[in-house]
Chain A
Amino acid sequence: MITANERAAMTESVGAAIADAVARSANVDATLAELGWRELLADDPDAAVEIVFTALGSANATASALDDVLAATLGFELGADLAILLPNFASWAPPGRIDGSHSHAHGIATCRAATAAEILVACDNESALNTSMVSVAAAEVTVVRGVDPDAGLHFVRCPIETKGGRPLDPAAWQSALALGRRAVAYQIAGACRTVLNLARTHALDRMQFGRPIARFQAVRHKLAEVLVAVESLDAALAAAGDTPSPETAALAKAIAGRTAYTTAKHCQQVLAGIGFTTEHQFHRYLKRILAFEGLFGSADAITHDIGHRLLAERRVPTLIEL
């Protein structure tokens, strides 16, 4: 565990290093390795995920740190050669499926799929979970262009060896999913904070009707709405760290998605014409948000799932206490 002071110092240094790597178009994964990301993840996963993913989101950096987060929680040795198959877009089910003769996986992978030797696949074989190692050479890996070609995402399809898998404790899968969700939520939080700052700066600088548009109450209230959302996401993430559980992580992820769309919508409106161009940075953040919000389940899907659970149990748990 790192101390509060170390955490603050690292937040700064990691943020600066990642922003610098992005500015230089350098490889962010290499920068993370130099910063000791994997060691930090092993030592203090909560701090590591918060610091690194917030910084990745703020700088709109493309990296494969999510693979390490999942590998670490699933109990695998961390390394740049091991990629992880994430659940398919908008889903959180294990990407592999073993049912008798049909044994295959399809899901999403980060930019590591382009360089790794092996892909770790979590599989559901109906009665239990296990993990399989698939050689990248044996998999069909295609680059996702989509809304954000720079996001580094890949589609992966591959056959699964029915034997030789390693049993996967469902609780370990839940923990991996939870930390993965928190990681993506931190990334979205970092992006939202940056987008709010971009819109705020624009509101103060942009003159119309002889005054900065920041004087108009309609503009002020939109930005206020964004700050409310961004702050509530920070609080939900802190709660998921203080009271870790699949539920608090799922809720943080859902709140991240809501915050992302509130932020994107209002900030785009404040940025107006310039925000609609590729001359302003906004478009990169909007596209990255769209590309990542669906990972491990969108806000909508998670909300729906939670709603069904509340109705089935006829209970509304408070989850966090003072």
Chain B
Amino acid sequence: MSAELAAYRGELRAWLEAHREELAPRYALPGTLDDHVAQMQRVKAILFDAGWMQRGWPERVGGSGGPPMLRTELGANLAARDFVDSGLFSLIEVLAPTLIDFARPELAAEAVPKLLSGAELWCQGFSEPDSGSDLASLRCRAVPEGGNAATAARWIINGQKVWTSLAQFSQRCVLLTRTGPADSRHRGITAFFVDMDTPGITVRPIEMINGELEFAEVFFEDVAVPAERMLGELNGGWAVAMSILPYERSSCFWQRIAYLYRRLERLVEIAPQDDRAAEVVGNAYVQLHALRARSRATQHRLAATGAIGAETSIDKVLVAAGEQAVFDAVHRLLPGMVEIEDSAAGETWRGEYLYSRAATIYGGTAEVQRNIIARRLLDLGSDE
């Protein structure tokens, strides 16, 4: 496996370097979110045309096969060169595997290539105003048109999602809805793949702490979704939601790690060369190395066994801490850069510093991860 990957990596890096000019962002730093999204879709289209985007994806969804780690390599190498925003790009890993595992085969075959080629963007509609960490309490309702779940041609959705990343840019949404009784928790949730231009959907972008409108509130008012857009079984949505973990916790993280090494490198390019800086930079680097070593082991375990589970909460804790350590180092070693510097460099560092604060929140908070580690990995029993 490692030898095959090394060969692929060499080939990929040579190609990316040869096409550097074509792939590099066209906008001046820091660029707006619109710039970042447009850049990512442009890069995806170029890579799709050259056949790189298809590597590591199954042939039945238009891929060219091979181990999923090929995609991880691609994302990481793009991030390491700042060709794409790693957070935006790696959303592919959050959404496409779910479609492949849970959508009707024709739907997956039609939709996944659009995501890979940069023709579309998708979003993940899980969180709701009253359901963050406690996702199983979600209330956005789906009812079968006509009342019979077995025969209904369409489902009618009413409710609200919140903090849905890229909702206003997206053509489709992987949506979790309540289909069981109000108190049915994870047993009464169903997932749908919803077209965002369906009548009754309203998207209201929300300004984030860094000034970007990267996520949104999404309102559903009598939104009719064809029954064949159901992902997985009726009331089987929890399994769909959980299926996101393996690739989010492996491939996405490896891409994020590549980005963090690059950011630390940018910092050492301009940081003072004194003892204090050595300590701060050294600490962040040691942390990144522990994270990278852990993530590497996780990917190989996933490749070998086809499954990873609660133990990836450890990866999640490490990646969140690593990201914050890198940007804390930036904040500490470049006085004023985050706080008062109004140049392009200041805006870029500031935006990323502020974004890094979310690392312990999204994808399951740091506290929720520790709850999982305590219960599932340390077997400490219930906390009730």
**Same assembly:** yes
Q: In the bound complex, what is the Cα–Cα distance between A215 and B273 (angstroms)? A: 47
| Min distance, Cβ A321 to any Cβ of chain B, angstroms | 7
Establish whether residues A224 and B378, one from each chain, have CB atoms under 8 Å apart when the complex forms: yes
Once A212-B381, A315-B268 are accepted as A-B contacts, the answer to whether A228 and B279 lie under 8 Å apart by CB is no
Establish whether residues B292 and A311, one from each chain, have CB atoms under 8 Å apart when the complex forms: no
Instruction: Name which of A99-107, A149-157, A299-307 contacts chain B.
Output: A299-307
Q: Specify which chain B residues have a CB less than 8 angstroms from the CB of A303 in the assembled complex.
A: 279, 282-283, 285-286
Once A200-B380, A220-B374, A315-B265 are accepted as A-B contacts, the answer to whether A236 and B293 lie under 8 Å apart by CB is yes
Instruction: Name which of B137-145, B294-302, B341-349 contacts chain A.
Output: B294-302
Q: In the bound complex, what is the Cα–Cα distance between A127 and B380 (angstroms)? A: 57
Q: Specify which chain B residues have a CB less than 8 angstroms from the CB of A225 in the assembled complex.
A: 370
Q: Interface digits, B360-384 against A, CB 8 Å rule (1 contact, 0 not)?
A: 0000000101110111011011111
Establish whether residues B69 and A322, one from each chain, have CB atoms under 8 Å apart when the complex forms: yes
| Min distance, Cβ B8 to any Cβ of chain A, angstroms | 10
Q: In the bound complex, what is the Cα–Cα distance between A303 and B271 (angstroms)? A: 17
Q: Specify which chain B residues have a CB less than 8 angstroms from the CB of A311 in the assembled complex.
A: 268, 271, 273, 277-278, 281
| Min distance, Cβ B328 to any Cβ of chain A, angstroms | 14
The number of residue pairs between A and B whose CB atoms lie closer than 8 Å in the complex comes to: 157
Q: Which of A223-238 contact B (CB under 8 A)?
A: 223-225, 227-228, 231-233, 235-236, 238
Q: Select one of B6, B254, B300, B314 contacting A227, CB under 8 A.
A: B314
Q: Specify which chain A residues have a CB less than 8 angstroms from the CB of B278 in the assembled complex.
A: 304-305, 307-308, 310-311
Once A203-B380, A228-B317 are accepted as A-B contacts, the answer to whether A221 and B69 lie under 8 Å apart by CB is no
Establish whether residues B73 and A305, one from each chain, have CB atoms under 8 Å apart when the complex forms: no
Once A227-B373, A231-B314 are accepted as A-B contacts, the answer to whether A204 and B289 lie under 8 Å apart by CB is no
Establish whether residues B9 and A306, one from each chain, have CB atoms under 8 Å apart when the complex forms: no
| Min distance, Cβ B298 to any Cβ of chain A, angstroms | 8
B5 interface residue per 8 A CB criterion: yes
| Min distance, Cβ B1 to any Cβ of chain A, angstroms | 8
Establish whether residues A255 and B286, one from each chain, have CB atoms under 8 Å apart when the complex forms: yes
**Beta-carbon nearest neighbor of B297 in chain A:** A235
Q: Which of A212-258 contact B (CB under 8 A)?
A: 212, 214-217, 220-221, 223-225, 227-228, 231-233, 235-236, 238-239, 251, 254-255, 258
Q: Specify which chain B residues have a CB less than 8 angstroms from the CB of A304 in the assembled complex.
A: 275, 278-279, 282
B290 interface residue per 8 A CB criterion: yes
Report how many residues on chain A are interfacial, defined by Cβ distance under 8 Å. Answer: 46
Q: Interface digits, A240-284 against B, CB 8 Å rule (1 contact, 0 not)?
A: 000000000001001100100000000000000000000000000
Once A221-B374, A251-B286 are accepted as A-B contacts, the answer to whether A215 and B268 lie under 8 Å apart by CB is no
Q: Specify which chain B residues have a CB less than 8 angstroms from the CB of A314 in the assembled complex.
A: 265, 268-269
Q: Specify which chain B residues have a CB less than 8 angstroms from the CB of A223 in the assembled complex.
A: 374, 378, 380
**Beta-carbon nearest neighbor of A232 in chain B:** B290
Chain A residues within 8 Å of B, Cβ to Cβ: 200, 203-204, 212, 214-217, 220-221, 223-225, 227-228, 231-233, 235-236, 238-239, 251, 254-255, 258, 299-300, 303-308, 310-316, 318-322
The 7 A-B residue pairs with the shortest CB-CB distance, nearest first, are A307-B282, A307-B278, A220-B374, A316-B265, A224-B373, A235-B293, A303-B282
Enumerate 10 A-B pairs (CB-CB under 8 Å) in ascending A order. A204-B381, A217-B371, A224-B370, A236-B294, A239-B293, A255-B289, A303-B282, A310-B281, A316-B262, A322-B254
Extra pairs beyond A228-B314, A319-B292, A322-B72 (14, CB < 8 Å): A217-B371, A220-B371, A228-B318, A236-B290, A255-B290, A300-B279, A304-B278, A308-B273, A308-B275, A310-B278, A310-B281, A311-B277, A312-B273, A321-B6
